[in-house]
Structure formats: structure tokens, C-alpha cells
């Protein structure tokens, strides 16, 4: 099973790294550490994931899933555990 945030971060890193490190060297600008770029990509992926849960469509889907689910704490199971009456 793959982590969607890791996959998105990987895609972001590849895209950013290809732009940053493939560009001709400029003596005025120092290229960032690849680990710092990777950290930025993970933060961007997490922010994207958090923002995607705030969209109206996702909120509606989460509300529908919540209504359709059964909460075990709300189910009355007392009749299951009572002794059988003769």
C-alpha cells in the first residue's frame, strides 16, 4: 500500500529538482540542499491533502459516509447478553 502524500511529494520533488538542478549555474544564487527541497515537498503535499478535505465536495462525502456508518457505541446490545427467558 502506498502513501498518497509520499507519492505527491515524490512528484513535486522530481518536478522542482528538475527545474532547480538542471538550470545553468548562476554564480549569484546558491542551489538549495536537496533534503530541504524534499522537506518542502512533503509539507506541500500535506497542505494539499488538508486543503482537499475542506472542499464542499469532500465535506459532503465525509458527511454522507458518517451518516451511513454504524457507531458501535450507539447500538443497544443489552438484549443479546441477557439470559434467555423460559
Q: Which of 4, 36, 6, 43 is nearest to 20 (CA)?
A: 36
pTM: 0.64
pLDDT at 85: 67
Determine, yes or no, domain membership for 74: yes
Domain encompassing residue 58: 4-81
* Per-residue tens of pLDDT for the chain, all 86 residues: 688 999 999 999 999 999 999 888 888 888 999 999 999 999 999 999 999 888 889 888 888 888 877 777 777 777 777 776 66
pLDDT at 77: 72
DSSP secondary structure of 65-76: HHHHS--GGGS-
Determine, yes or no, domain membership for 52: yes
Determine, yes or no, domain membership for 86: no
The count of structural domains within the chain is: 1
Determine, yes or no, domain membership for 34: yes
Amino acid at each position: 500500500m502506498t502513501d498518497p502524500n509520499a507519492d505527491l511529494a515524490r512528484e513535486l520533488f522530481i518536478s522542482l529538482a528538475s527545474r532547480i538542478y538542471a538550470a545553468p549555474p548562476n554564480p549569484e544564487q546558491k542551489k538549495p540542499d536537496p533534503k530541504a527541497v524534499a522537506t518542502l515537498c512533503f509539507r506541500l503535499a500535506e497542505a494539499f491533502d488538508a486543503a482537499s478535505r475542506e472542499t464542499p465536495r469532500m465535506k459532503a462525502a465525509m458527511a454522507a459516509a458518517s451518516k451511513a456508518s454504524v457507531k458501535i457505541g450507539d447500538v443497544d446490545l443489552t438484549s443479546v447478553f441477557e439470559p434467555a427467558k423460559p
